[in-house]
Chains A and B, each alone.
Chain A
Amino acid sequence: MWKWIQAFASPKNFYSISRKIIPWLLYPFIIITLVGLYWGLVIAPADYQQGESYRIMYVHVPAAWMSMFVYIVMAISGAIGLIWQIKLANVVAKVSAPIGASFTLLALVTGAVWGKPMWGTWWVWDARLTSELILLFLYLAYMSLNNAFDNPKTAAKASSILAIVGLVNIPIIHYSVTWWNTLHQGASVSSIEKIAQPAIHSDMLMPLILMGIAFKLLYGALMLMRARDEVLIQEQNSGWVKRIIMENGK
């Protein structure tokens, strides 16, 4: 396993292997999204309290999950890059940041749009919303810091430290609805026990799980696509990069 990881972490191997992996993430993403959307928008019944408005959940909740998931991946990759000096880990952290920031922005916007008909307001300074907004600022700070240095090693080091420190915000986001009395509703799917005995009907839960899987596949595909370009830039003085670019650029 370790040998496979080491082989995959070599920029040249990563470049060729990732090209084969991307279609295996992209096509299932499209199929699962279409099934999830049909199930969530057509098959799933209206909620007895929120009516039809709860259908925003099928984009809001997966986006919010992704905002935290991508940040965790970014911080762990940053830590691996810091400790073991693996260049590919720094690449993963760097390319994940704009994707994670986009998911966070999406979670905030769709949350505001859901909040208006349910709470009567687009925004409240509630613990969940505020901590999610802080997560967006952390992503923006990470990207700014990463672009602030000319030396990629210094940039990776400084931004990884920021990502690791910012990791403290993730449990705050997750438990904010438990720790504080918030306007935001509690988690319906948050643990293995809750998945086994969910608080929502299976026809409502299944599309949510499908959309969650689809968003993860989307992240995987986008991350690999962007990481390949970053690898080309960082390894531009290597012979194999020159050969690839001059031959076909794929």
Chain B
Amino acid sequence: MGEENYYGEWQMTLAEYFSFLPYGKYAFYIWFSYLTTFIVIASLFIRTRAIHKNTIKQLRIKYSRN
């Protein structure tokens, strides 16, 4: 378990810190993948919503000027 650091001491790896989660020694990799997927999908929705709001706002300003 763990890996040797610069000072020759053994310490836990990042993956081992998260081994209490479901899927044990692979928990870090699995949950990191799913978290990344969630962030990407959420970002796509947030960006799409922001584009929509901005488009409506810009067009409203344009038409109210004319």
Contact = CB atoms under 8 A, between A and B. Distances in A.
Contacts of B17: none
Contacts, number: 78
Given A113-B36, A222-B44, A246 B24 contact: no
Contacts of B23: 52-53, 55
A113 B26 CA distance: 10
Majority SS at the chain B contact face: helix
B34 A59 contact: yes
Interface of A: 41, 51-53, 55-56, 59-60, 63, 98-99, 102-103, 105-106, 109-110, 113-114, 116-117, 218, 222, 225-226, 228-229, 232-233, 236, 241-242, 245-246, 249
26 contacts: A41-B22, A51-B26, A52-B23, A53-B23, A53-B29, A55-B30, A56-B30, A59-B33, A63-B37, A102-B43, A103-B40, A106-B40, A109-B36, A110-B33, A113-B36, A114-B29, A222-B48, A225-B52, A226-B48, A228-B52, A232-B55, A233-B59, A236-B62, A241-B59, A242-B59, A245-B63
